[in-house]
Structure 1
Amino acid sequence: MNSHLFPQIGKVIASTGSRHFSRMLHDLILTQLAVDATHIRQMRVEPVGRASSRSEPEPLKEPALLAETVFSEHSAAAHHLQNPPAATSADASQLHLTRRKDGYRYVISVYRNDESQRFSAQERSLLQDISPVLLPMVEKHINALQPANPDPQSPPESAEGNGLETLRLRFDERLEQLGLSLSNRETEVCVGLLAGRTAPELAEQLALKVNTVESYLKRAAIKLGISGRHSLMRWMYSPLEALASSAA
């Protein structure tokens, strides 16, 4: 995965549960290939033993429990894709990524308005390469929109706050999986950078000097065995097996 994508991936994660998520996901996909529309949905399916991700089309006939569609600016796709069609192996002007988990299927579909503009094998591969990041983000976003036990007496949290909290939880989980520990400030700086913020922005948010923020990053980098911000992005999103082998 190209390292230049990581800051934008962090911003998409930070928008989890907000009305901006689908647009930001669509814009992220546009950095890899031209599409006229991006459609995400959740459907109920029979439980399976483990989560799986794939780019091969599956029958998508279950009714969607939640669905959102974003169209590219000035695209004519909106006239044709108000009800995106089910995947068919013969239609190369659409691609579908699916993930099954806990009795649900999460789907990302991308479309081109002109059926003659078929996706190439290289484009399919590009989308497949980032699917391990895209699909869990869609799952987190949809789950954030459907809290398990909503409390009507509780004040609503900001979407950005929810997204950052999700990102921090994922960061803490990865630390635990690798048996690592950071201070609270080191974690705040790392999560802020993963969310796409700059060192000056973090310094203002945390009421610190920029060089202090950079010092926290350096301390965290030493503990994580990385060399800087881009390495932090790779550390966060690379498979655990790859991190374990590089540390060996």
Structure 2
Amino acid sequence: MPRDIPAFSNPIRNRRVILQTRPTGVPQTEHFSLDEVDIPVPADGEILIRNVYLSVDPAQRGWAADVANYSAPVILGGPMRALAVGQVVQSRAAGFAKGDFLYGFFGWQDYATVTPAAVLHRCTQDLPLDAFASLCGINGVTAYLALTTLGRPKAGDTLLVSTAAGSVGSFVGQIGKGLGCRTIGLTGSDEKAEICTQRFGYDVAINYRSGDLAAAVDAAA
């Protein structure tokens, strides 16, 4: 059970980031507000969680918009939907105990009361807690499952990854390298291309906005 948690006090009130208006482009600070309310009390079948790490994910842009999506939009005036790593403060749900570390949809707030359906997995592996909001979070798992169950590359294959500097693509490149592939990343700027090779370990990274993309990919492969 991981115990390396950041030092923090336990607030006597629940601070929440509230979605005030729906962004039409990139979300800005004016689309949100911060409030404080009483710490919620769990009902029968619920868990009270103290969040330790909050996640900021590209999917939240879609959740905040009022457009057709795979999930309902975040309710205006309510806490911003978000994945988080938290610790159980009080449990009134079977199978969960005080002190358990969990990862799930707990929102941008200090405390959350949720049902077990909001929990994606338990943080029981011997890993730093923040890894469950990153490497083992939604983006890392998406990259791993998509590559290993759908793409299924073999050692010696050449792997071409779009949005290579993004939250999923950056993981795909590293997983591909671990599987023995030659990795080529596509991204939209020279700066991001450098990040792909220097930080994420891509063999080659190409700025698709410059030059002949097909020729550049052929040369890299």
Structure with greater proportional strand content: 2
Q: Same fold by TM (over 0.5)? A: no
| Structure (1/2) with the larger helix percentage | 1
TM-score, reference length from structure 2: 0.32
Between structure 1 and structure 2, the one with the greater Rg is 2
What TM-score does the superposition give when structure 1 sets the normalisation length? 0.29
